[in-house]
Amino acid sequence: MPEGRIIKALSGFYYVQATEGVFQCKSRGVFRKKNITPLVGDYVSFDHREENEGYITEVKVRTNELIRPPIANITQAIIVSSATMPDFSTTLLDRFLVLIEAKGITPIIFITKTDLLTDEQIVDLKEYQADYEGIGYKVEMFSAKDPKEMVRIKDYLKDQVTVIAGQSGVGKSSLINALSPESLLKTADISKSLGRGKHTTRHVELIEINNGLVADTPGFSALDFSEIEADELSSCFPEMRERLENCKFRGCLHAKEPKCAVKDAVEQGEIPMYRYEHYISFLEEIQSRKPRY
């Protein structure tokens, strides 16, 4: 039985990329009974009896999955923040980082629109860049209008399955367009051949760029921490995660507990104060949500 990867989900159909081409498939009713919904990015087995049409018979085990946007088996997430318009926000960046870390996906930080900054603003932004690189994140600052920069940035996509996240207006679409305008044109042609305009519905689709796959998605529709428990939050901060064993109390939440290695690191300047303040704010948000039954 042939196997492939779902590269698009639209109107109840799943488009499976296999060695022999792309197959338009439906899912079997058995998946509904098992409460399994095939996702873009899933590796599947399928049965095809007509040319380029078939039924998905098996969904392979996933390495990870996101609910919003619905996509599976991602190898990295690029978080796009703008330097200005809208202004750079460490709070929003940290929300995205926590959500990505919670899924065990590697985050990369892109800061765009640097061409709109003054020299003084660039210096301030580079301080934040140094903070996040010190934590262990890769951080790139650039303008999507610079073709030379785009050649370098495109290397991040090679051999990866990438989801691009970021608030509205930071330039996610402009970035994808600058990285590979031909991919978007090809995507539009596929949609046209299927008799559906690309913008008639919001759907998830994997497009090929530089021998990798990039999720062209509506983005994250929610930035809440509904899937994260209070005792899991500090593990989503790498600089805290590496110090957990040094706290005196097991299950330390690094808030009011004495002899806390995380708070000590903050006082010593080893962890940026704003990162700790965001952690406390997120912790309070999680603790104040209504209980789930």
Chain segment 225-246, per-residue pLDDT in tens: 888 999 999 999 999 999 999 9
Across the chain, where does the E strand assignment appear?
3-10, 13-18, 21-27, 43-50, 53-59, 65-66, 71-72, 76-82, 106-112, 138-141, 161-165, 205-209, 212-216
Neighbours of 32 (CB within 10 A): 10
Handedness of CA 277, 282, 287, 290 (dihedral sign): positive
Q: What pLDDT sits at residue 108?
A: 97
What tens digit of pLDDT does each residue of 62-85 get?
999 988 788 999 999 999 999 998
The confidence band for 184, taking pLDDT boundaries of 50, 70 and 90, is low
Distance, first Cα to last Cα, the chain:
41
Say yes or no to pLDDT of 97 above 50: yes
Classify residue 91 by burial, with Cβ atoms within 10 Å: 0-12, 13-18, 19+: exposed
Q: How far apart are CA 40 and CA 20, in angstroms?
A: 19
Q: pLDDT band for 181, please (50, 70, 90 cuts).
A: confident
| CATH architecture for segment(s) 3-61 | Beta Barrel (2.40)
Higher pLDDT residue, 20 or 235? 235
Angle made by CA atoms 191, 193, 195, in degrees to the nearest 5? 75
CATH class of the domain defined by 66-216: alpha beta
Q: Amino acid identity of 94?
A: D
Q: Which amino acid is at 26?
A: K
Q: Is the pTM of this model over 0.85?
A: yes
CATH, range 230-288: 1.10.40.50
Label residue 157 by pLDDT band (50, 70, 90): very high
Angle at 201 between CA 198 and CA 204, to 5 degrees: 80
Domain layout of the chain by residue ranges: 3-61, 66-216, 230-288
Contact (CB, 8 A) for 45 and 3: yes
Using the Cα atoms of residue 72, residue 78, residue 82 and residue 87 in order, give the sign of their dihedral.
Answer: positive
